[in-house]
Structure 1
Amino acid sequence: MQRCAAGEQLACTELVGDHQRMVIQLAMNLLGDRDEALDLSQEVFLRVFRTIHRFRGQSSLRTWIYRIAVNQARNRHRFWRRRHRADQVSLDQHVAAHGDFRSGGESTPDRLLAQKELAERLQQALDHLPFDQRTAIVLREIDGLSYEEIAFSLGVAVGTVKSRLTRARQALRLELREARTA
């Protein structure tokens, strides 16, 4: 990291290589658009390179980059919202990138249809969550960050993370239950 802060090209290339996939996946999950995710990834690494000298090691480098990515995504989300553009988390693209929900064994057409329907209901439920709750859910359930890492990434207290996750899970549960009975 010191080599990257000193402007060494190879070190910067390694840093991007180590973290770019994570940043793109996070951006895809938060913004729902591959092109936007790729653009955001570039913005994140530009910000990382401009501010790497400020990294103090209070968290892991990965968590620090998550924080930059979340802040950039939040700014982009606000920009979109001002222009009344629908924001989505694309589960189809997530499934394409990470694989489907199969737990093993063969998939029958009925099972594949049920998985697709579940993904669509979950997509709709995620679309209705406020951005901060959706971000917390994505960081915890998809990216697997700890409460402390999420708190650092969002710049909030651990208790705030837990309450956002609780509210998001309740909202998702309610929305999915209503979709199932409809």
Structure 2
Amino acid sequence: MTPRHAPAGSFKDRLNLLFTASAVENPDRPGTYTEYTPTQVAHEINKKFGAGSITDEYIRKLRRGDIKSPSVLMASYLAWFFKMPLDVFAAVTDDEPSEPSEIANKVWAELQRIAAVKSPQHRDPEPNETIRVLARSAGRLSQEGLKRAAKYVQQLEQLEQMEDQLQTDVPPENH
């Protein structure tokens, strides 16, 4: 028997890993990633397979673990969306568990590696070069200039927060 690399073996854990690993980097905030929303995933699946194929609420229930064992059809929709072979879910769908293939195990190991790279704990805690340049530049400003710079930074932060909120409502273009 091949050793399993799937996270905890549950459908919920596997699906959440797919969401994490497929998160898209925010071009305006390098190092930050935005996961697809259940609404985005349901929309794309319904566009491909027909209205009503899956709902965003069903996907939320799968992600929370409220639904433990979806049908093979539902798993196949999700596998299609994430561009994964169906057998990545084979051991945790329906009532008849099966062992995932060696390829599925390799896919899970790679997904775990990708998700780890995208996690906040993996990022370098040291300030990046842009922050160092800003700090050096701020040190050369007058008191009035520092006050103006602080005001601009606060306004920019508010603008980015609004952009982040808007971005969660727009599906990424690569699906």
Length-normalised TM-score, structure 1: 0.23
Q: Which has the higher helix share?
A: 1
Work out which of the two has the higher radius of gyration on C-alpha atoms and give 1 or 2. 2
